[in-house]
């Protein structure tokens, strides 16, 4: 039995850590409360996280850059689907503007070697439907072009999720079909452009963000740019920042 004072001689940080361990120990054998959605005001935001003020309480929520791209301005009302992840020493919130992105996030973290952080990185680099198509048709080159995804991870994605992603809207294609072939060609063009930008010294995140903007504009124009056109337009976009 401990006979000395509980926190004698310990720093404030030590007291905090001890209190935190005691708090999480209280959840042993029971399910802690889960946050499934949040609706509040955006207090602050970055490409990786947002703080949402709900009735005076600020919730830090980690997000993909694609969710960040569609967030309203600071001070505006925002609704997010939320996944609460509980570890031994932390409760972390991950947020998504679309329900499908959250569902795919939950599938990604079931794959060996993919944790929440890498799952968000993957979702930052590719749209939900495009990722599902790449997995379905085993487009390893498109998958390995994503930040943090190597050859083995791409193989595991295709092997473990190949039969699970077909339920996502727009993702149902058969390997070898004309639609699948078109998707592979388009994905390869973008992947080649991203690789070229990275070789020029741009971070992968910056390269993919610029290419997404170009893709969005190209989709509105109803055309698929060539690799050199994608690179040129992306460089113009980056130069304008």
pLDDT beneath 70: ranges in the chain: 1-33, 166-188, 204-205, 219-224, 241
Chain centroid to Cα 76, Å, comes to 22
pLDDT single digits (tens) 55-102: 999 999 999 988 998 899 999 999 999 999 988 778 899 999 999 999
pLDDT single digits (tens) 99-120: 999 999 999 999 999 999 999 9
SS3 178: helix
- In this prediction, residue 182 carries a pLDDT of 41
What domains sit in the chain, N to C, each tagged with a CATH number?
37-97 (2.40.50.140), 101-239 (1.10.150.20)
The sign of the CA dihedral 214, 197, 65, 160 is positive
The token pair that represents 8 in the structure block: 């004698």
The torsion region of residue 124 among left (phi > 0), alpha (psi -120 to 50) and beta comes to alpha
pTM here?
0.65
């Amino acid at each position: 039995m401990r006979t000395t004072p509980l926190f004698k001689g310990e720093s404030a940080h030590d007291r905090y850590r001890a209190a935190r361990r005691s708090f999480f120990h209280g959840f042993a054998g029971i399910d802690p409360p889960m946050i499934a959605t949040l609706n509040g005001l955006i207090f602050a935001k970055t490409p990786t996280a947002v703080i949402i003020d709900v009735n005076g309480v600020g919730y830090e929520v980690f997000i993909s850059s694609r969710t960040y791209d569609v967030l309203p301005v600071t001070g505006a009302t925002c609704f997010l689907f939320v996944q609460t992840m509980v570890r031994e020493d932390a409760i972390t919130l991950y947020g998504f503007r679309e329900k499908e992105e959250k569902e795919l996030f939950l599938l990604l973290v079931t794959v060996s070697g993919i944790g929440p952080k890498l799952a968000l990185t993957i979702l930052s680099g590719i749209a939900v439907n495009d990722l599902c198509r790449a997995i379905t048709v085993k487009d390893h080159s498109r998958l390995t072009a994503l930040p943090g995804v190597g050859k083995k991870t791409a193989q595991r994605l295709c092997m473990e999720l190949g039969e699970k992603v077909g339920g996502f809207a727009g993702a149902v294609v058969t390997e070898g079909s004309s639609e699948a072939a078109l998707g592979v060609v388009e994905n390869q063009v973008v992947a080649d452009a991203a690789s070229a930008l990275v070789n020029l010294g741009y971070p992968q995140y910056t390269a993919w963000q610029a290419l997404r903007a170009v893709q969005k504009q190209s989709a509105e124009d109803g055309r698929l740019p060539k690799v050199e056109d994608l690179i040129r337009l992306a460089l113009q976009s980056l130069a304008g920042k």
